[in-house]
Structure 1
């Protein structure tokens, strides 16, 4: 394995002595993200020997320039040239053209097929909301978002029904592993060991139900476009991307709306605003707070000279709170129409974003139609993760219309 190290930059450089993975940073990433963004150019983080950017225009430009800021050596803190991975690299995240287009094309028909499942999702959402409304109090994470997304997405992929409890520990391990080898990784590895084995088996052709999105990925194998093992890896990548960020976005949306009676009243009066509420959460919360790229050529970018072989951290949450792009960025406002980088940008934008938006819109709309008042029923508790930002608990109380 070739080890790649970054050179200490010379000259006039803004050095930012922060740790994005400290507990303080994970609880409040906006604090360090603001420091990076307010520098106005790329900053050097000596702890991890990497560059970091946080302005919207810089993050967007880096995501668009896939030729220099590449994904093919890994999109985590440590790329696969420096670290032995616990799983093969993702064929969706950790590839560049032309392979990247080939893999996305193999999954595109499966993603497009999800639209036909909308009536089924609406029925499932209405049934779940009805049960929870009858209780009067429930948790937006464990009682609503997790069971709904695990069920409807698992059904859509065609996963075996037995063993789906492994999906969440697997996602926790996958997203924690994008960061350093800290206590969160150790904890996730301990919980996720059996999950890795189950997910590996569940992504095989023989385990997937006919007609599901997973089985559709293997149609590209039968057409000679990809190999059998590549199809299995694509389904596994799809599972990683299709659960955690959606669950976190839904529960975070409900947390914000429960604390704003005026916003909930607007949504209750017009459930069609559910998509806008979900979209604003993608900006305000930025469930995927950080992205990484490897620097594959010497380049002057974001006001500094970067060398080939270096690492670039893109602060998504910093970009999504850039006052030069968003008016009053610290205010949750579901009336916004300015696009964010919540699902990335450019050729590596999340392939499953339509699925996540559809799931979020349907579930939030079902709640808005049935619930007249939504209030906090206790303190929301953050679930710390090296990559995704979300809650472990969001207690709510409701009054039906």
Structure 2
């Protein structure tokens, strides 16, 4: 059986803006797709994406989770000890950070996050129109996340710039990539300094990682790289999650009323956003050996694109209303935070940030609606908005 051929450029601007129709076509075309423009293989159905993401022995991460095979081409930075690693190395590092990002550690952040959310929403005052992207989705995580890690206060704008570099580097070296790397030397130098022990606060996740070094569990180089991993993954995707949820609720005002009646449904809205409009649209893996998928043979050493966003809308898994946003849906099995041993380390803190700020907004505002056309932030991997004009109606 031959793979379906796809001649399109997934990173063409029009497809980045509206990717879901293409996903549907490729899901229906066949289980395995060969992109003839770039030469990679790909999967778009929920069952197959989940299986590949869970099989690290066949689909490895150590050769890069982007389109570049780092066994053949040098990566732009030292490989992540978490994202770009396989067992046993990955297992050792993951065990350490899992202990640091424990449920108890995340719970201990709630009170401060809630206080900051209250201050943040109060600062909006009586304004009836805001930009939900910059004033909520970006501003709140930037206000709480760097402090939770213990990042020095100066130059924190580099965190967002570094995130753009990290995620855009997983796609091709297109215009989006080159734009993200305009200030690469300056940004990269700041990040490396920020991860050093002497530049981190005495408390926070950064200090906890360096404490593992004190215990002899990791080297100094590994400690700095683990702090870098936390900083890389901690903002862009959470910003996208909050913004995409706000946008979905503004487009579906009846659900805002449901959240007013039952604030616990905020968690459902967050999980449904992770499914319906996934912040991270894709990851690549590299085959360690030839593998047969539904009668199609993918050769060894092949790059394979696994479309999390397409899998999350597969009617085979979610039913005929898979393209519909519904916070009442049972979202168990969505892949918004990944699957398998590389499932997102920071998912609990991302969920907490989104829950806290959205709950505060639901408490303060009777309804929200779009006040203009939202604007996508073009990115090779992350689906996020750089502008979400919102009209707010205060609760009486």
How big is the shift at 1:192? 4.4
SS in 2 for 1:52: strand
Residue 50 (structure 1) aligns with: 40
TM-score by length of 1: 0.95
Provide the rounded CA distance (Å) in 1 between the counterparts of 2:211 and 2:293.
Answer: 42
Cα 1:93–1:145 change in 2 (3 A) is: same
Provide the rounded CA distance (Å) in 1 between the counterparts of 2:263 and 2:189.
Answer: 41
Q: Is residue 233 from structure 1 mapped to residue 206 from structure 2 by the alignment?
A: no
Cα 1:353–1:308 change in 2 (3 A) is: same
Residue 334 (structure 1) aligns with: 327
Provide the rounded CA distance (Å) in 2 between the counterparts of 1:322 and 1:268.
Answer: 30
Equivalent pair of 2:275/2:331 in contact (CA under 8 Å): no
SS in 1 for 2:368: strand
Cα 1:229–1:13 change in 2 (3 A) is: same
Equivalent pair of 1:64/1:347 in contact (CA under 8 Å): yes
Out of 337, 340, 344, the residue aligned to residue 343 of structure 1 is: 337
Q: Spell out, residue by residue over 1:94-127, the C-alpha distance to the aligned partner (whole angstroms, 9 max, x if none).
A: 0001111111122123212222010000110111
How big is the shift at 1:286? 1.0
Equivalent pair of 1:150/1:167 in contact (CA under 8 Å): no
Q: How many residues align?
A: 391
- Structure 2, unaligned runs of 5 or more: none
Out of 51, 54, 59, the residue aligned to residue 64 of structure 1 is: 54
Q: Spell out, residue by residue over 1:306-362, the C-alpha distance to the aligned partner (whole angstroms, 9 max, x if none).
A: 111111110111101100111211100001113201111011100111111111111
Q: Spell out, residue by residue over 1:202-261, the C-alpha distance to the aligned partner (whole angstroms, 9 max, x if none).
A: 011111101210110112211212111111111111111111111011011111111222
How big is the shift at 1:390? 0.8
How big is the shift at 1:133? 4.5
How big is the shift at 1:398? 0.8
Residue 178 (structure 1) aligns with: 170
Provide the rounded CA distance (Å) in 2 between the counterparts of 1:192 and 1:310.
Answer: 29
Out of 70, 90, 94, the residue aligned to residue 100 of structure 1 is: 90
Residue 7 (structure 1) aligns with: none
Out of 352, 362, 365, the residue aligned to residue 359 of structure 2 is: 365
Out of 207, 210, 213, the residue aligned to residue 221 of structure 1 is: 213
Out of 73, 76, 85, the residue aligned to residue 86 of structure 1 is: 76
Provide the rounded CA distance (Å) in 2 between the counterparts of 1:269 and 1:40.
Answer: 43
Q: Is residue 356 from structure 1 mapped to residue 346 from structure 2 by the alignment?
A: no
Pairwise mapping of residues 236-385 of structure 1 onto structure 2 (< 5 A)?
A: 236-327=228-319, 328-339=321-332, 340-385=334-379
Provide the rounded CA distance (Å) in 2 between the counterparts of 1:253 and 1:318.
Answer: 18
Provide the rounded CA distance (Å) in 1 between the counterparts of 2:77 and 2:3.
Answer: 36
Equivalent pair of 1:139/1:393 in contact (CA under 8 Å): yes
Out of 6, 14, 39, the residue aligned to residue 4 of structure 2 is: 14
For the aligned residue pairs, the C-alpha RMSD in angstroms reads 1.2
Provide the rounded CA distance (Å) in 2 between the counterparts of 1:219 and 1:274.
Answer: 35
Provide the rounded CA distance (Å) in 2 between the counterparts of 1:95 and 1:12.
Answer: 31
Q: Is residue 168 from structure 1 mapped to residue 160 from structure 2 by the alignment?
A: yes
Pairwise mapping of residues 117-196 of structure 1 onto structure 2 (< 5 A)?
A: 117-196=109-188
TM-score by length of 2: 0.96
Could you tell which deviates more after superposition, 179-188 or 16-25? Answer: 16-25
How big is the shift at 1:12? 2.6
Cα 1:302–1:128 change in 2 (3 A) is: farther
Provide the rounded CA distance (Å) in 1 between the counterparts of 2:186 and 2:21.
Answer: 36
Equivalent pair of 2:272/2:331 in contact (CA under 8 Å): no
Provide the rounded CA distance (Å) in 2 between the counterparts of 1:25 and 1:95.
Answer: 30
Cα 1:27–1:191 change in 2 (3 A) is: farther
